[in-house]
C-alpha cells in the first residue's frame, strides 16, 4: 500500500529553547529563513506525499498560519523584489493539504502519534519530527525510507550510529542485517533512552518513521514508560517481536535541532551551503 500521509507530532513544549518557545512553537524556529517544520514538509513532498497531518497543542497556532495565505502581506509585496521569498511556501500550500488535531495533554511522542489517528485512519503513514532536520540533496531521508518500505511492507525506523555516551537521549535498537545489505536491519530489540551500559548497540532511532496502522491499537494498550510518557519505542517493540520492524541506516546528515548545539550546527551548515 502506498504512503499518502505524513504525520508531524508538534505538540511538545520545547523547553530546551525557553524563553524563545514560550509563545512560539519550537517547530517554527528558523534555520536561516525557513522554519523547521517547513523543511520537514518539503522532505515529505519530495518523497511523494501531499497530505500533511499535524498534531499541535496550545500555543501552536503559528504553524497553521504559516501553511496558509497571508492576504495582507501578499498584497503588500506583490510585484516587488520580495515576492520571490514566498515562492517556496506558496508552492507547498498549492500542492498539499494540511489538517490539524490537538493533543490536549502532552503525554509523550507515542501518545501524540495516537492522537493523530483521527487524521491518518487505517493506512500506513510517515512520521517526521521536525526538530530532527535532515539533509541529503534530492534523495531525502523519507524518500529513501519509502523505497525500504516498498520492499519490506512493515514499519521502518531511520537509524544513525551515535557515540555510546549519547544513548540516554535516544531509542536504541538491536537487529540482524538483512539480505546482505549493510544498512538495513530486522529489529530484534529496542530500548528507550538507555544508559550506555544497558544499550544493546549504538544505533539510535532518529525522528523519521514509517508506521503500519496496527501501531494505533498497540499504542492504545501501551503503558507509560521512560519518563512517565507513552513511548513510540515501546509500541514498536511489540511489532519488532513479530519481526515487523526494519531499521534503515539512512544516507545524509541529521541535525538535532531540538538541542541548542544541533540548532547552531544546522544554522552554520545551511548558511555555508547557501552562499
Note the residues at the interface with ligand UTP (CB under 6 A): 9-16, 26, 55, 103, 106-109, 111-112, 129, 131, 258
Closer to ligand UTP at the Cβ: 184 or 233? 233
Which CB, 192 or 238, lies closer to ligand UTP?
A: 192
**In angstroms, rounded to a whole number, what is the distance separating the alpha carbons of residues 46 and 142?**
8
Shortest CB 126 distance to ligand UTP, Å: 14
CB of 239 to ligand UTP, least distance (A): 19
Q: Could you tell me if residue 48 is left (phi over 0), alpha (psi between -120 and 50 degrees) or otherwise beta?
A: left
Q: How far is the CB of 13 from ligand UTP (least distance, A)?
A: 4
d(CA 5, CA 242): 25
SS3 260: helix
CB atoms within 10 A of CB 100: 18
In the bound complex, which residue of the shown chain has the CB atom lying closest to ligand UTP? Answer: 12
Burial of 248 (0-12, 13-18, 19+ CB in 10 A): buried
Q: Residue 55 or residue 162: which is nearer to ligand UTP going by CB?
A: 55
Nearer to ligand UTP, 129 or 237 (CB): 129
Output 85 or 260, the one with its CB closest to ligand UTP: 260
Q: Report the DSSP beta bridge partners of residue 8.
A: 54
Query: Do the Cβ atoms of 64 and 75 come closer than 8 Å?
Result: no
Residue 170 Cβ vs ligand UTP, minimum distance, rounded to whole Å: 10
184 versus 206: smaller Cβ distance to ligand UTP: 206
For the CB of residue 223, give the shortest distance to ligand UTP in the complex, in Å.
15
Evaluate whether 266 touches 133 at the Cβ level (below 8 Å). Answer: yes
Question: Bridge partners of 7?
Answer: 53, 127
- Give least dist CB 108 to ligand UTP, A: 5
Amino acid at each position: 500500500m502506498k504512503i499518502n500521509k505524513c504525520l508531524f507530532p508538534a505538540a511538545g513544549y520545547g523547553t530546551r529553547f525557553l524563553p524563545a518557545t514560550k509563545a512560539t512553537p519550537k517547530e517554527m524556529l528558523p534555520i536561516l529563513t525557513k522554519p523547521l517544520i517547513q523543511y520537514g514538509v518539503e522532505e515529505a513532498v519530495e518523497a511523494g506525499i501531499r497530505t500533511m497531518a499535524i498534531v499541535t497543542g496550545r500555543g501552536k497556532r503559528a504553524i497553521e498560519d504559516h501553511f496558509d495565505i497571508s492576504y495582507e502581506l501578499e498584497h503588500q509585496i506583490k510585484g516587488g523584489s520580495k515576492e520571490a521569498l514566498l515562492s517556496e511556501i506558496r508552492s507547498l500550500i498549492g500542492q498539499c493539504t494540511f489538517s490539524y488535531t490537538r493533543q490536549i495533554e502532552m503525554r509523550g511522542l507515542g501518545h501524540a502519534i495516537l492522537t493523530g489517528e483521527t487524521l491518518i485512519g487505517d493506512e500506513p503513514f510517515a512520521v517526521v519530527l521536525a526538530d530532527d532536520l535532515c539533509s541529503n540533496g534530492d534523495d531525502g531521508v523519507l524518500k529513501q525510507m519509502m523505497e525500504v518500505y516498498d520492499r519490506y511492507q512493515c514499519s521502518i525506523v531511520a537509524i544513525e550510529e551515535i557515540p555510546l555516551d549519547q544513548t540516554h537521549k535516544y531509542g536504541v535498537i538491536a537487529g540482524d542485517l538483512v539480505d546482505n545489505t549493510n544498512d538495513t536491519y530486522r529489529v530484534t530489540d529496542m530500548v528507550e533512552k538507555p544508559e550506555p551500559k544497558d544499550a544493546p548497540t549504538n544505533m539510535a532511532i532518529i525522528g523519521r518513521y514509517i508506521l503500519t496502522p496496527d501501531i494505533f491499537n498497540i499504542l492504545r494498550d501501551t503503558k507509560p514508560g521512560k519518563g512517565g510518557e507513552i513511548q513510540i519505542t515501546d509500541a514498536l517493540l511489540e511489532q519488532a517481536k513479530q519481526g515487523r520492524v526494519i531499521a534503515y541506516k539512512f544516507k545524509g546528515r541529521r541535525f538535532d535541532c531540538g538541542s541548542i548545539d544541533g540548532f547552531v550546527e544546522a544554522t552554520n551548515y545551511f548558511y555555508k551551503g547557501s552562499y
